[in-house]
Structure 1
Amino acid sequence: MTSLALPESRDLSVPAAQRHAVRPTPAWWRDATAVFAWATILFVVALWVAGGGLSAFGSLGEGVTNVGRLSGLLASVLMLQQVLLMARIPIVEQAWGQDELARVHRLVGFTSFNLMVVHIVLVTVGYSAGTDLGVVATFVDQVLHSPGMLLALAGTVALVMVVVTSVKKARARLRYESWHLLHLYAYLGAGLALPHQLWTGQDFRSNVVATVFWWGLYAASLAAVLAYRVVLPVVRSLRHRLVVSEVVAESPTVTSVVMTGRRLDRLPVRAGQFFQWRFLDGPGWTRANPYSLSAAPDGRTLRVTAEAVGDSSARLAALRPGTRVLLEGPYGRLHTGVRTRAKTVLVGAGIGITPLRAILEELPASPDGVVVIYRVGSQADIVLADELLDLARAKGGRVVAVVGHRNRDRTSWLPVDSSHLGDAEALTRIVPDIAERDVYVCGHPRWMDAVAAAAHEAGVPADAIHSERFTY
């Protein structure tokens, strides 16, 4: 571990007149969105009870069908909640952040799908109990003759495709762009299920309250998707008219892209957040890619810095000044608005240092107020070193480089040369008062898990550890 030498300082701080006001993210946002989600689930159960759900158990077939009805209702409300989770609603994004949002989205999605399968099986078995057709023939009969069932079957197939490609092993085999395109079929699945629910679902039409609730929830989900996934990105792209102004090679594999535009001081973005970017430079422009800001927004420019790890990121080096840029966002909770303490530790690995560099720029100056821990495999992998050092000096902090190859004998955030140290011990050696600081972490997911575990062991509470993952 090495404290990097500080050269003559350059003033990289954002002028006060251009600095974006950073307000803390209200803690109640998270509670409010969770209460809304649970309230809709409980309300669906209440509607089922009010519609005679507890009394429709006259026979085995009726009982099985009735339980199937409830599972279908719960599958529907969870599916709509999943749509809302994917809608990029600002309050939801800020309340949960990408890490938690992805985890909740996955949990809700798989639960909804499982309940949908239970619904199909139980309703088919229940209906077959009152006929001589058998289970398979009953299912075929329902698909062919019940209103909306063919559409519902097509929607189910679309959802099966989404679920299959969401399994971890399947995701690992897909490019992000391909996975993202397939994932959009969840919207198609939800839309194709609607006619079946409204035409044959008695719980959707049993009374005025139920009808208003279900139509309202579907309408709200559709409005949220259109507003935040389509209209808002288009409006912001047209309003700010971003263009590439400069392309800088930070290293043989790392490129920074600086963009200028109109009225960027009105863009509600914080240092460390990310956008989905589309560079209109030719074929492939339709594929959006998530890149964090690597410099604090100053009202005049936006900058991203990325490593060439795939076709899309490799294209950044070939961008030309004047290229138009579309943006969607900002997203993420990796920003100073979630701080809980006066002092900070920024822990980054590889290209994960870039959003932390932006956060460092936005932090207030304070003696020993910030420590930057920069983990790299070799000295050649260090990027933005001069900027980090200049900013750290201006803020009254320091930068510590942790250099060396990955330790393959254990799960650790430390290099193999530091194997004699425990993960938490190493953190406390670098930052003795780390338990009294906020800790921001960005890097490879497993590495971030090791850092978070070490920070927690060193006494940092969970709400003071902030991270962002860009896995899918």
Structure 2
Amino acid sequence: MSLRTAPPGRQADRARTASVDRTRRIRSRRRTRTADLMIAACWASVALAVSLYLAYGGLSEVTDLASGLTAVGIVTGLVGTDLILVMLVLAARIPAIDRVVGQDVAMAFHRQLGKPALYLILAHGVLLTIGYAMTDGSNIVALTIVFFQGSDMALGYLGLGLLVAVVVTSVVAVRRRFSYEAWHLIHLLSYVAVLTALPHQLSASGVLAEGTLQRGYWIGLYVLAFGAIAVFRFAVPIVRSARHGIRVSAVEQLAPGVVSIHLSGQGLDRLQTAGGQYAIWRFWTGTTWWHAHPISFSAVPTARSARITVRDLGRGSAAVGRVRPGTRVSIEGPYGIFTDAHRVAPRMAVVAAGIGITPVRSLLEHSDLRPGEATVVLRGGDLGETYLWNEIGELPSMRGNTVFSVMGPRPRGLGTWLSAEALARGVTITSVFPALRESDLYVCGPQSWADLVIRDARAAGLPAAQIHVERFDW
């Protein structure tokens, strides 16, 4: 029996592949642990808020039903406020959070906390009012009117009203009735809601007495939440935009309603943008200055140039597509984990539809791919949706890799992401990606369409950790 030895070049390739895969697994485990610690920290803050209340004798004054209701009302208020401040931290676009879980996951958790926080704050108001009324033997309605006459309590009610407006307009069925710009403006009320409730909370000296750890904890949490917003949502973008001096250099029409905006500036490579990421852009014109737009890079920035590609999906994005060369541009970011750095498997499978080609194009440009490692499916309803397709095959990273195009409308009522023609030929996700389980799947396109791709991938046995999605909804 003889042993067959692989050629030196092939041995080197295998060693490199094993090393890369090992590094990816280590990074994945590290991100998972960090994400778990972040979630634990969120819930630990809630536990700490309640523990501090109990440590300073929160239950010592409970002697009857009225005082019991008052105590429970105080606890629900503390927990609800804690959750709201955690929500603000999640929405502050802190780089450490973005690198671990991405802004889309952070904001999904942010939205999940919205309703519980609102219910707790509502319970806080109701239970305190009933408890105080029972203690004083007064009428609940009359006591509520008295509360409104006090400045601190009036601010508390105002904050509650603003919070209700924010949460109600965040419900999907309601949110779809608003333009993104109107919804975003309403959502900014959450900052005002929390600030207006602060005097009411600090005035409750029995709960947040001066010189206590409890008071220090709450002030620290407020400083963390609003400090993070001030730094990462305002200060850093202002400094970064001034440093790079970004302006529109050209606007290129790709298809009806689709343009590539070419940008120029200084040291744009120092943004350290990874392929697949996006940034929040503000174009300083009379019709666009008041609203920032999340738009993906369609090419990895060089020292003096960058490119984004925009589709007309509403009044705001349509206005962006009409900006002129010379327009000054502000940037916030880059953000996102739709990148090669978050791969955990040896192969890459990519599916993009419509404007979803934008982050996919820069993702592939920035990926270190070996021949045969990647398979890309480009989905379009017609020839008008093939913008940037010609650039995919020309990328150096795609040499020796496969690109498929799936054209034509989808059949109605079948719930598929494929075209009718592809289905008739028996195409499935596993026929397109035979090594799907050994791949990281990157999906980018409209949400309902992307959900169908993910459904098929999960049905084929692909773990959630190997699925990466970039959505273009809000």
1:240-291 Cα deviation digits (max 9, x unpaired): 0001112111112211011111111211321111111111232232211111
Residue 330 to residue 208, structure 1, CA distance change in 2 (3 Å) = same
2:34 pairs with 1:34? no
Q: Which of 127, 144, 159 is the equivalent residue of 1:139?
A: 144
Within 5 Å, give how 1:180-191 maps onto structure 2.
Answer: 180-191=184-195
Task: Report the counterpart of residue 231 of structure 2 in structure 1.
Answer: 227
For 1:235, give the aligned amino acid. V
Residue 300 to residue 462, structure 1, CA distance change in 2 (3 Å) = same
Q: Which of 318, 325, 339 is the equivalent residue of 2:322?
A: 318
> Structure 1, unaligned stretches of length 5 or more?
1-21
2:223 pairs with 1:213? no
1:386-419 Cα deviation digits (max 9, x unpaired): 2012127744211111112123213221123344
Residue 393 to residue 161, structure 1, CA distance change in 2 (3 Å) = closer
Task: Report the counterpart of residue 387 of structure 1 in structure 2.
Answer: 391
8 Å CA contact 2:364–2:397 kept in 1: the answer is no
Q: Which of 334, 342, 347 is the equivalent residue of 1:330?
A: 334
2:198 pairs with 1:194? yes
User: What TM-score do you get using the length of structure 2 for normalisation?
Assistant: 0.90
2:303 pairs with 1:287? no
- After superposing the two structures, state which structure 1 stretch, 97-106 or 108-117, moved more: 97-106
CA distance, structure 2, for counterparts of residue 326 and residue 309 of structure 1: 21
2:65 pairs with 1:67? no
For 1:433, give the aligned amino acid. A
8 Å CA contact 1:47–1:203 kept in 2: the answer is no
Report SS of the residue matched to 1:309. coil
8 Å CA contact 2:276–2:297 kept in 1: the answer is yes
- After superposing the two structures, state which structure 1 stretch, 29-38 or 48-57, moved more: 48-57
Q: Which of 121, 125, 129 is the equivalent residue of 1:124?
A: 129
1:87-130 Cα deviation digits (max 9, x unpaired): 11111222222332222111112111110000000010111112
Residue 394 to residue 169, structure 1, CA distance change in 2 (3 Å) = closer
CA distance, structure 2, for counterparts of residue 243 and residue 328 of structure 1: 14
8 Å CA contact 1:251–1:383 kept in 2: the answer is yes
CA distance, structure 2, for counterparts of residue 271 and residue 299 of structure 1: 15
Q: Which of 49, 56, 60 is the equivalent residue of 2:54?
A: 49
Task: Report the counterpart of residue 10 of structure 1 in structure 2.
Answer: none
CA distance, structure 2, for counterparts of residue 98 and residue 405 of structure 1: 32
8 Å CA contact 1:254–1:306 kept in 2: the answer is yes
Q: Which of 345, 362, 368 is the equivalent residue of 1:364?
A: 368
CA distance, structure 2, for counterparts of residue 317 and residue 140 of structure 1: 52
For 2:373, give the aligned amino acid. G
CA distance, structure 2, for counterparts of residue 94 and residue 394 of structure 1: 26
2:472 pairs with 1:467? no
8 Å CA contact 1:369–1:397 kept in 2: the answer is yes
Q: Which of 92, 98, 101 is the equivalent residue of 1:93?
A: 98
Alpha-carbon offset, residue 450 of structure 1: 1.0
Report SS of the residue matched to 1:129. helix
Task: Report the counterpart of residue 268 of structure 1 in structure 2.
Answer: 272
Alpha-carbon offset, residue 207 of structure 1: 5.5
Alpha-carbon RMSD across the aligned residues, in angstroms, is 2.0
For 2:470, give the aligned amino acid. E
Residue 194 to residue 50, structure 1, CA distance change in 2 (3 Å) = same
2:329 pairs with 1:307? no
8 Å CA contact 1:360–1:392 kept in 2: the answer is no
- After superposing the two structures, state which structure 1 stretch, 245-254 or 427-436, moved more: 245-254
8 Å CA contact 1:296–1:362 kept in 2: the answer is yes
8 Å CA contact 2:58–2:71 kept in 1: the answer is yes
8 Å CA contact 1:29–1:91 kept in 2: the answer is no
Residue 418 to residue 385, structure 1, CA distance change in 2 (3 Å) = closer
8 Å CA contact 1:368–1:398 kept in 2: the answer is yes
CA distance, structure 1, for counterparts of residue 133 and residue 283 of structure 2: 55
Alpha-carbon offset, residue 143 of structure 1: 2.7
2:424 pairs with 1:440? no
1:417-464 Cα deviation digits (max 9, x unpaired): 344588xx7111111011101011111111111111111222221101
1:9-60 Cα deviation digits (max 9, x unpaired): xxxxxxxxxxxxx996850331232122111111112112212334443111
Report SS of the residue matched to 2:208. helix
User: What TM-score do you get using the length of structure 1 for normalisation?
Assistant: 0.90
2:457 pairs with 1:452? no
CA distance, structure 2, for counterparts of residue 293 and residue 24 of structure 1: 24
8 Å CA contact 1:71–1:116 kept in 2: the answer is yes
Task: Report the counterpart of residue 401 of structure 2 in structure 1.
Answer: 397
Q: Which of 249, 257, 260 is the equivalent residue of 2:261?
A: 257
Residue 394 to residue 165, structure 1, CA distance change in 2 (3 Å) = closer
2:413 pairs with 1:409? yes
Task: Report the counterpart of residue 14 of structure 1 in structure 2.
Answer: none
For 1:348, give the aligned amino acid. A
CA distance, structure 2, for counterparts of residue 349 and residue 37 of structure 1: 36
CA distance, structure 1, for counterparts of residue 114 and residue 166 of structure 2: 9
